[in-house]
Structure 1
């Protein structure tokens, strides 16, 4: 009897014969064995829905859903996943352990997990127009921070040197951030040696000349071309030339812009980089997770490669391909290096999101994301606000509130009370991340809800009203302490 046949019988017994013991004749490789299978219904408790099983938690779920529904979500790193993505997140893939790689697991019963993860990998490579002979992808990392840490572990090694954009200038904690005092805030600065490159204080744009100068004396093993609050496109070709000049690996962290890259609306880092990491829930509009793309073979020497607006390379390659070994190093850094079993339900949901992102509708959505953000920048500038870098090419912007005498923490709180969620954010030159001078805004979530450019004009007016209220409250507060500002009793 074929295995698939007796599994069909087992499925029927599971739901029709509680407590039934069946002896099934199973032939494998010409040998007949008797398999004892015990079936029973799940207990009443495990089959209850959340509303009946845990009303208290269900009430919190409902309250959060209403908060998202009634408010204006303007946090640049947030989005609304589709119903299909959420369904995959709650699928039975959640129940399965699958430590290891496809076809080489440490647990049995992973035939469908293998098929699902293979599908996810294929969709990831296809979405970003990558040749599977040249690129591989790991989809097991639980989120973006451990994905970045895995790359550093694999390719820089303990106390290896890494170099990323400074956090106040728009970088990310995991790019090696340490405070101006020298305090190592992120584990990436604790376990690796790091230094930062910065933006021009006048323009807010990355200073590539100084980047090249610092890279020359620091000699990093990895240069990170990535941001979390930088609103302009990156010059990946310039990054590549700088990395080559110091024999560094060039890594892109496209967590914020992966949806724009997938839609072809932002220069692709894949033309120039050796490794590309990304989260999956921001502009990509998937579940919380991460992907690590890596070259299987070393980039071929290119002559007279020039920076171009679309990130393309003008000249061809020559020479025989040399294996990088990145596949083994990175996969082993993820597991068993940094984590155990992958979250299979998240990988399944990611496969759904990647399929959605390959649609024409997704590209139109990303166009709206950019247009809406540009409209928001224009409208806020018309109200007199300073936009860091002077505008945006992406899904986000940062307002510098220091010129009007208020910080991002106070503005964030007042806007939150009005149902508008933003996040306080550092601006170039800031030293205090808890009371930074900026407010970061993003358009993906509200664009997912169908808002257009005209709607973002109105959103800008609401933000303006909120900031003016924050200023008024600050003037009427007797204490200069932030905690007192947040206490209504201190307002005169």
Structure 2
């Protein structure tokens, strides 16, 4: 055991013993979670493993501090150490991504997207109105002027990728607040290739004329040309907003460069800090300098007090992402995704877009006679953790789905390579072939119930255990 592993093991053992003395059920759940993650093939594309340094940074007395406001301009006294932490995190974010401005307060990816949306509204709608009316802020407006401005917020348009072709619910999905804030239209993909059709997107944008064009994805297994997205936004006078929550690690790791790097092209970029970036759960916003004053109003615009301990952990993770070893890791994430996709295709599994060139592989499981929910559950029973996901024109809707989304960031963090991911593809295929749907009590085909052939789940779990034995999670850590 290395000195670092021994120190970490001691730290976690002591911490859990303290927790156990207050609420033993919580301590037990934490230990059980580590055991579950160690013993399963974790393929959820939005999950990863943070470093021990990042995890340890989250548990400290910075969490006891209120720090609403921005660096050097807080609404609470005694925030000099929080100022230091936030400034360091923002510095790392700017340097890592080559951004003009970085804001590290958002608590999550959705919060980051809300900050982005309202910052754009403030910059594009509110600021011109205030200037026209000769007011410094909205409190200076008459009631009539305020009502006019308020209504103008509600009349703006957003255009984002449709949920069923890989977009996120915050890209204008009607049940989400983004779909309620704006007049919304979604863009899809080419029915044959399942790839973004930039010419059609331009035509649709010219017709709809959105204030905000959203690029980025949650379940699209291909790269995006952000230079083309910039051209489309400019053609209709839209602000280009990129949600790179899923692929931020591939941008940070220099896998996505040139026209595939959104930061030089977008006005505003939002991201999570976990997923492929391998940090704590949280969000960040990057922006052109002209948007900085609006983004800085994230609190009190849509956020409450920042989580100072999480900002500290973001700083640690962003520092880790600036290393050569992280770049090597990011390239392996992409290489492993291709190996996983190739392994599935060789075994006859249908993939959306026919493959991948990022970290996501999206299976269409209808050839197995299954819904996404049945496939997800059967795989979980077998020690393979995935999540069901819609496919283009999904016949089963967003709850049962026809797809299963998998990704390579987490298992790549454990050290698995191309050969191991080919073995993972084999295990997934074996489980899907051995699973059959169960007819519902009303005699109709069931969308949730299923059966796995005898012994397959147990054999797959055993094979997963054997595969993972050579790639321990947090080696040397005993709790």
What CA distance in whole angstroms lies between the structure 1 residues aligned with 2:120 and 2:324?
37
Structure (1 or 2) with the greater helix fraction: 2
Displacement of 1:486: 8.1
In the TM superposition, what is the alpha-carbon distance from 1:468 to its structure 2 partner?
1.4
Matched, 1:163 2:159: yes
- CA displacement at 1:47 relative to structure 2: 12
Q: 1:47 to 1:288 in 2, by over 3 A?
A: closer
What's 1:271 paired with? 264
Asked whether 1:113 is paired with 2:77, we answer no
Aligned position for 1:327: 292
Residues in 1 aligned to 2:201 and 2:313: alpha-carbon distance in whole angstroms = 38
CA distance, structure 1, for counterparts of residue 254 and residue 230 of structure 2: 20
1:230 is aligned to 2:210 = no
Aligned to 1:9: none
Aligned residues: CA RMSD: 2.0
Match of 1:280 in 2: 273
Between the aligned partners of 1:93 and 1:487, the Cα distance in structure 2 is: 48
- Scaled by the length of structure 1, the TM-score of the pair is 0.79
**Do 1:398 and 1:440's aligned partners in 2 also have CA atoms closer than 8 Å?**
yes
Tell me the equivalent position of 1:93: 62
CA deviation string 1:124-178 (max 9, x = no partner): 1111134xxxx1111101111121122222223434211100000000000001x
Q: Match of 1:371?
A: 335
Aligned partners of 1:479 and 1:485 also within 8 Å: no
Query: Structure 2: how far apart are the matches of 1:146 and 1:476?
Result: 40
**Secondary structure of 2:278 counterpart:** coil
Conservation of the 8 A alpha-carbon contact between 1:222 and 1:248:
yes
The answer to whether the 8 Å contact 1:425/1:433 transfers is: yes
Determine whether 1:292 maps to 2:285. yes
Contact 1:249 1:274 survives alignment (8 Å): yes
Q: For residue 77 of structure 1, give the secondary structure of its aligned residue in structure 2.
A: coil
- Counterpart of 1:68 (choices 37, 42, 46) is 37
Cα distance change on mapping 1:459 and 1:209 into 2, 3 Å: same
SS of corresponding position for 1:264: coil
CA contact (8 A) 1:408 1:439 kept: yes
Greater CA radius of gyration, 1 or 2?
1
**Structure 2 matches for 1:361-440, cutoff 5 A?**
361-430=325-394, 432-440=397-405
Aligned to 1:189: 179
Structure 2 portions without partners, runs of 5+: 1-14, 122-152, 454-479
Q: Secondary structure at the match of 1:220?
A: coil
CA distance in 1, matches of 2:410, 2:274: 11
Give per-residue Cα distances to partners, 1:216-268, cap 9 Å, x unaligned.
11110010111001111101111111111111001111111111111111121
Q: Which residue of 1 aligns with 2:91?
A: 122
Report the equivalent of 2:137: none
Q: Is the 8 A contact 1:414 1:469 kept in 2?
A: no
Residue pair 1:412, 1:423 contacting (<8 A) in 2 also: yes
CA distance in 1, matches of 2:247, 2:219: 11
Give yes or no for contact 2:98–2:263 (8 Å, CA) kept in 1. no
- Post-superposition Cα deviations, 1:386-439, rounded to whole Å, max 9, x if no partner, equal 111111111111011123322111000000111111000000111510111111
Q: Which runs of at least 4 in structure 1 moved beyond 6 Å after TM superposition?
A: 475-478
Between 1:214-223 and 1:156-165, the stretch displaced more is: 156-165
Q: Please, which runs of 5 or more residues in structure 1 have no aligned partner?
A: 1-45, 178-183, 297-323
Match for residue 115 of structure 2 among 132, 150, 157: 150
**Equivalent-residue separation in structure 1 for 2:401 and 2:301 (angstroms):** 35
CA distance in 1, matches of 2:314, 2:71: 17
Q: Structure 1 residues 105 and 458, CA, compared in 2 at 3 Å: closer, same or farther?
A: same
Aligned 1:250-265 pairs, distance under 5 A: 250-265=240-255
SS at match of 1:171: coil
- Residue deviations 1:161-202, cap 9 Å, x none? 11100000000000001xxxxxx3111101211101110111
1:247 lines up with 2:237 in the alignment:
yes
1:338-385 per-residue CA deviation (whole Å, 9 max, x = no partner) reads 121001111100000001001111111111111111000001001101
Structure 2 residue 322 is the aligned partner of structure 1 residue 353? no
- Counterpart CA distance in 1 for 2:362 and 2:345 is 12
Three-state SS of the structure 2 residue aligned to 1:140 is coil
Corresponding residue for residue 180 of structure 1: none
Work out whether residues 435 and 450 of structure 2, in 8 Å CA contact, stay in contact via their aligned partners in 1.
Answer: no
Higher relative contact order (CA 8 A, sep 6+): 2
Aligned residues: 403
Q: Which residue of 2 aligns with 1:465?
A: 430
Q: Once the 2 structures are TM-superposed, how far is the Cα of residue 465 of structure 1 from its aligned partner?
A: 1.4
Determine the C-alpha separation between the residues in 2 that align with 1:276 and 1:56: 40
